[in-house]
């Protein structure tokens, strides 16, 4: 199970960050919309070749031995959804590149509800929960049974590059199926590890795994009651991090940055995380300091995080964030203090309010 609880530090590797609302101040191309669409005579945002009929799409995929590509979108309000349609999905090189591999399913939540029948709205709401969709555009690659095996979103580079990206993601299904086959020939902890390899190959969020592969999770537990594979321990750690995330979101809602720092430091001190999880916790300290405008502290925390795991794949994102922090620090230093209106009494200096 590969989902990360750090929604506030999403995709560090590409240099973008998501902060908990209402703490969010930096724009992020991965932030979000909400789930689904269709009507049989309705024009699809992705153009010709898409369907909104999920059940019919599964039948078509099974008959043609293709996979499903499901696009959860907000066609008339989600900027990155619109870009993905305009730059990729509407274009002929994309359609030609996927015609032999995917049945295309567009599930849309437009602001204009007149575009959807009540039946379609109901279908989409149910599928949004089933696939645990949290952000848009969310692109899920699924087998003909509707079981997801890979997830992606907006990608730059145009239709040809996107098709290449999808073909690379399709290898996750091969790895999944090979691991399931190996598990069928094994017993005990070896079986558990093979099943874990199948789940890890897909890199899906935990809730999607539970919704679609819950029986696999139970098989792992049954095959390895002594937790020699470490699956149980990993699950307990994920629960800890989920509880941390909830607590951090609550503090963010109250704009309690000092409390957020105390929480992060306490969680780090308790330990028990792998290097990547620890690195993200350390990064969170930098993000919080940046939210407060404490750029020196933010930069120091960033350097400590980088020194902790200098070979992490997150390093390019950390370097990108450091550059933005330096720019923010310079801008703050170059911005003159606002003078009080002429004749207005000068106030005594006050400490900056936490943001």
User: What pLDDT is stored for residue 339 in this prediction?
Assistant: 57
Regions of the chain with pLDDT less than 70: 1-47, 337-355
pLDDT of residue 337: 61
Q: What is the pLDDT of residue 45?
A: 66
Residue 335 has a pLDDT of 80
Nearest to 200 by CA among 224, 185, 184, 217: 217
pTM of the model: 0.71
Cβ-proximal residues to 51 (8 Å cutoff; 6+ apart), any chain = 38, 57, 60, 103, 104, 105, 106
Copy the structure tokens of residue 283: 């990064």
Which residues of the chain are in CATH 3.40.30.10 domains? 32-169
Give the pLDDT confidence score for residue 116 in this predicted structure: 86
| 116-149 residue pLDDT tens | 899 999 999 999 999 999 889 999 999 999 999 9
Omega cis (within 30) before 137: yes
32-169 CATH fold: Glutaredoxin (3.40.30)
User: Which residues of the chain does CATH 1.25.40.10 include?
Assistant: 233-329
What is the C-alpha to C-alpha distance for residues 230 and 66, in angstroms, rounded to an integer? Answer: 35
Answer yes or no: CATH 1.25.40.10 is held by domain 233-329: yes
- Between CA 335 and CA 327 the distance in angstroms is 12
What confidence score (pLDDT) does residue 167 get? 97
Q: Left if phi > 0, otherwise alpha if psi is -120 to 50, otherwise beta: which for 236? A: alpha
């Amino acid at each position: 199970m590969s989902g990360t609880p750090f929604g506030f530090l999403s995709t560090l590797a590409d240099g973008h960050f998501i902060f908990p609302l209402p703490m969010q101040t930096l724009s992020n191309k991965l932030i979000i919309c909400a789930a689904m669409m269709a009507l049989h005579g309705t024009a699809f945002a992705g153009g010709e070749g898409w369907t909104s009929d999920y059940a019919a799409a599964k039948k078509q995929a099974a008959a043609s031995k293709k996979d499903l590509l499901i696009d959860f979108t907000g066609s008339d309000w989600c900027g990155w959804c619109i870009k993905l349609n305009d730059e990729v999905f509407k274009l002929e090189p994309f359609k030609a590149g996927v015609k032999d591999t995917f049945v295309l399913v567009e599930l849309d939540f437009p602001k204009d509800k007149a575009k959807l029948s009540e039946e379609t709205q109901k279908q989409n709401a149910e599928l949004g929960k089933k696939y645990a969709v949290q952000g848009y555009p969310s692109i899920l690659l699924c087998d003909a049974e509707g079981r997801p095996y890979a997830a992606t979103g907006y990608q730059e580079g145009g239709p040809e590059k996107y098709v290449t990206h999808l073909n690379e993601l399709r290898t996750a299904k091969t790895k999944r199926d090979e691991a399931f086959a190996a598990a069928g020939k094994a017993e005990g902890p070896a079986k558990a590890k093979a099943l874990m390899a199948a789940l890890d190959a897909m890199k899906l969020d935990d809730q999607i795994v539970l919704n679609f592969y819950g029986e696999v999770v139970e098989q792992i537990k049954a095959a390895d009651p002594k937790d020699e594979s470490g699956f149980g321990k990993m699950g307990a750690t994920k629960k800890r991090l989920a509880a941390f995330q909830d607590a951090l979101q609550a503090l963010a809602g109250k704009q309690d940055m000092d409390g957020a720092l105390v929480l992060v430091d306490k969680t780090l001190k308790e330990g028990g995380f792998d290097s990547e999880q620890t690195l993200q916790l350390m990064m969170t300290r930098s993000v919080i300091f940046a939210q407060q405008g404490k750029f020196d502290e933010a930069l120091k925390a960033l350097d400590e995080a980088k020194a902790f795991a200098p070979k992490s794949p997150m390093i390019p994102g950390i370097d990108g964030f450091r550059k933005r922090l330096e720019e923010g620090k310079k801008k703050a230093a170059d911005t003159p203090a606002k003078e009080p209106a002429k004749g207005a009494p000068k106030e005594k200096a006050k400490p900056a309010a936490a943001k």
